[in-house]
Amino acid sequence: MSDPALNLKKSRRGKKQAKRGRLKVRFPSDIATHSTEQTLYFDHRGLLKRHDYDVEISGGTPAAHYVSDLREFSGIVFPTKRRIFPRQPDGHSAPEPLVVSIDLDQFVLS
């Protein structure tokens, strides 16, 4: 995310999220992405915990994409669980339906 064309905005939101960093990203039109505007949430260690976006190819469907169960493979930390839920207008994720569930157990780096 070091491309000078990217519009990055670091911010904090509310007491509940005070321990997590938040980074808003706006991608230029020449970068292919599922969502022009995205928000990334990081824990106190700087690791990604949540990724919010609107799925533009699905009519702008708001999504909250959570990553968890971090494991190290060849010295690099990867989330092995991904869960995507609908995002409500207030920014919180809906408890259901679970839209996407991905569990990974091996990464091969070469």
**What are the pLDDT digits (tens) for 77-86?**
999 999 999 9
Residue 18: the pLDDT is 44
- CA–CA separation, 30 and 104 (whole Å): 31
Torsion of CA 85, 61, 105, 107, to 10 degrees: -150
- CA–CA separation, 88 and 63 (whole Å): 8
Lowest mean pLDDT among 15-19, 33-37, 68-72, 96-100: 15-19
Task: Quickly state the pLDDT bin for 19 (edges 50, 70, 90).
Answer: very low
Amino acid at 59: G
- CA–CA separation, 71 and 105 (whole Å): 9
Eight-class DSSP state of 96: -
Give the global pTM: 0.79
